[in-house]
């Protein structure tokens, strides 16, 4: 799982600048998750070797009257959701009253808080930041977010102590590629096969047994109703598993001989306990559930149609590489023209998701719920299937025969062989000459060719290209 970093501080200290620096290298399609609360912004961050979820808060005003209300509404929740808090101050302004107020609150937290002085470019940073030690939050880290200065060092410091807890925060470096010209294709293939066999022997049984299924969607789409419906069915055997207060509840269950772990973001199980307040919808909880799932069941409300929030949930799931099953809920009692309208809206706006199965269900009446699981297991199977080098190479060759890669600078791009680079999502690594110059259209062609040839439903597929052998 990825850690969550919250950026807090007065307005204008540079929080958005830092947020954008963290998130902009990510796929622009889904970089930002429009917050369900107005003034908070969520992003998937990738910076240097780190990846994490970042929350930008609108900033606290410093007006003592308003500060509690403002903080309570957004910064406070962001701070609560975070694993790490970065408290930004403006090195040029010195310590302000609002900084002091926020520091008073942050000092009481048990989670790591880093005091970060921004805008240290073009000034004597050491003397400008000295007074911030009076906030009694430990060292003052100097950065210039606008120029990226000090940012890598800050991340090294903040992530070092939590890497054991969040190993996913570090992106594995790709191995160096040996791009010699005269390739011994057969030898390479043999080597890949040997590695595959070895990997297979060592592979954990995770893929063979439990399917982690997250049920996500906006508030009120029917997640709790659906979860209760699933858990209430006779054929389901539910085991008890305690949850923590903050995160989703994991509910192990078995259905038709297949084991699942339901990741319940709606807090159904917890609500059963007496006197417990129902938790508010949490974006972070939802994002974490998606990251941690094999398959994500995205619930959409037929009565509301597709919303931006639905689309950003979908985008986030795709970006995370998770398998997707779509359920349009509350399909009961709708007029035919309403149904037709929703169907055509989905066709029009979700064309890019044509690999995901779509179900029209009524969680309230139980209609269509059983079939969901067929699509879930199918998606899981597609996402985790073993793909041999021989098979992937054969499909690549067939694709190349059907439709030659284009000429680049007078030379034809040559694809040499392909092998699997990972599961859930399946990653296909293609080696060849000049592959960096392949146009996107040809990459899409290959992707579709693979999808068809492998008959993969429900999972995104990633293709990576490597120059040479
Ligand atoms: P936020 O309100 O805390 O999100 O602050 P913004 O990110 O919007 O930044 C406020 C202003 O400070 C903008 O004009 C930025 O260009 C500027 N700024 C941000 N980072 C730096 C920096 O490292 N150096 C300097 N000189 N200006 C910066
Ligand atoms: P959650 O916030 O996503 O967990 O949504 P809930 O499960 O609490 O449902 C929100 C509201 O939608 C409740 O009033 C449910 O009774 C209603 N609801 C849920 N599923 C259906 C359905 O399939 N059909 C209809 N008509 N209403 C539903």
Q: 416-452 pLDDT, tens per residue?
A: 888 898 888 999 999 888 898 898 899 999 999 999 9
Q: Where are the domains of the chain?
A: 4-165, 211-384, 389-467
Cα of 450 from ligand 2 centre, angstroms: 38
Give the Cα separation of 22 and 9 in Å (integer). 17
What architecture (CATH level 2) is domain 4-165? 3-Layer(aba) Sandwich (3.40)
pLDDT band at 234 (very low <50, low <70, confident <90, very high): low
- Max mean pLDDT among 229-233, 235-239, 447-451 falls in 447-451
Equal CATH topology for 4-165 and 211-384:
yes
Cα of 327 from ligand 2 centre, angstroms: 13
Q: Which atom of ligand 2 is nearest to the CA of 361?
A: 23
By alpha-carbon position, which residue is closest to atom 7 of ligand 2? 222
Of 51, 70, 69, the C-alpha closest to 8 is 70
pLDDT at 40 over 50: yes
Pairing of strands 357-360, 323-329: parallel
Give the Cα separation of 135 and 138 in Å (integer). 8
Question: pTM here?
Answer: 0.63
Give the Cα separation of 458 and 379 in Å (integer). 4
Q: Which atom of ligand 2 is nearest to the CA of 362?
A: 23
pLDDT digits (tens, 9 = 90+) for 87-128: 999 999 999 988 998 899 899 999 999 999 999 999 999 999
Task: Name the token pair of 108.
Answer: 């009481």
Q: Is the CB of 269 within 6 Å of ligand 2?
A: no
Is 3.40.50.300 the CATH classification of the domain at 211-384?
yes
Ligand nearest the Cα of residue 147 is 1
**Which of 225, 285, 330, 359 to probe ligand 2 with, by most ligand atoms within 8 A of CB?**
225
Ligand nearest the Cα of residue 145 is 1
Give the Cα separation of 71 and 57 in Å (integer). 10
Give residues (CB < 6 A) around ligand 1: 11-17, 59, 118-119, 121, 144-147
By alpha-carbon position, which residue is closest to atom 19 of ligand 1? 14
Domain covering 389-467, topology: GMP Synthetase; Chain A, domain 3 (3.30.300)
């Amino acid at each position: 799982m990825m850690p969550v970093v919250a950026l807090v501080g007065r307005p204008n200290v540079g929080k958005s600048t830092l947020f954008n620096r963290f998130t902009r290298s990510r796929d622009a399609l889904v970089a930002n998750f429009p917050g369900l609360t107005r003034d908070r912004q969520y992003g998937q961050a990738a910076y240097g070797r780190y990846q994490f979820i970042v929350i930008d808060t609108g900033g606290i005003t410093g007006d003592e009257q308003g500060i509690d209300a403002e903080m309570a509404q957004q910064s406070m929740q962001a701070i609560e959701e975070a694993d790490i808090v970065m408290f930004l101050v403006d090195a040029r302004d010195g310590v302000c009253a609002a900084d002091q107020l926020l520091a008073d609150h942050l000092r009481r937290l048990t989670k790591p808080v880093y005091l970060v002085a921004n805008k240290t470019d073009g000034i004597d940073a050491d003397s400008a930041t000295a007074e911030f030690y009076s906030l009694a939050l430990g060292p003052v880290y100097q950065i210039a977010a606008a120029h990226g200065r000090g940012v890598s060092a800050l991340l090294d410091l903040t992530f070092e102590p939590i890497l054991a807890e969040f190993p996913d925060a570090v992106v594995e470096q790709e191995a160096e590629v040996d791009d010699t010209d005269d390739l011994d294709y057969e030898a390479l293939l043999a080597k890949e096969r040997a590695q595959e066999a070895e990997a297979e022997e060592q592979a954990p049984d995770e893929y063979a047994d439990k399917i982690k299924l997250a049920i996500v969607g906006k508030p009120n789409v029917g997640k709790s109703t659906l979860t209760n419906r699933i858990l209430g069915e006779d054929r389901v055997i539910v085991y008890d598993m305690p949850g923590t207060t903050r995160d989703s509840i994991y509910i192990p269950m078995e259905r038709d001989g297949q084991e699942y772990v339901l990741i319940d973001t709606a807090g159904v199980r917890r609500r059963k306990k007496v006197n417990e307040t129902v938790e508010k919808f949490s974006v972070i909880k939802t994002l974490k559930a998606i990251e941690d799932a094999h398959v994500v069941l995205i619930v959409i409300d037929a009565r509301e149609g597709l919303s931006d929030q639905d689309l950003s949930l979908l985008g986030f799931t795709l970006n995370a590489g998770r398998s997707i099953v779509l359920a349009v809920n509350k399909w009961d009692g709708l007029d035919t023209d309403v149904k037709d309208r929703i169907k055509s809206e989905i066709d029009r706006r979700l064309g890019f998701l044509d690999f995901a199965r779509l179900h029209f269900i009524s969680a309230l009446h139980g209609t269509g719920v059983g079939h969901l699981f067929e699509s879930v297991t199918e998606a899981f199977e597609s996402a985790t299937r073993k793909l041999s080098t021989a098979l992937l190479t054969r499909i690549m060759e067939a694709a190349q025969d059907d439709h030659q890669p284009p000429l680049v600078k007078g030379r034809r791009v040559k694809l040499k062989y392909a092998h699997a680079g990972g599961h859930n999502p399946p990653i296909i690594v293609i080696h060849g000459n000049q592959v960096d110059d392949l146009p996107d259209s040809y990459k899409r062609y290959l992707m579709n060719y693979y999808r068809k040839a492998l008959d993969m439903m429900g999972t995104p597929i990633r293709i990576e290209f490597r120059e040479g052998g």
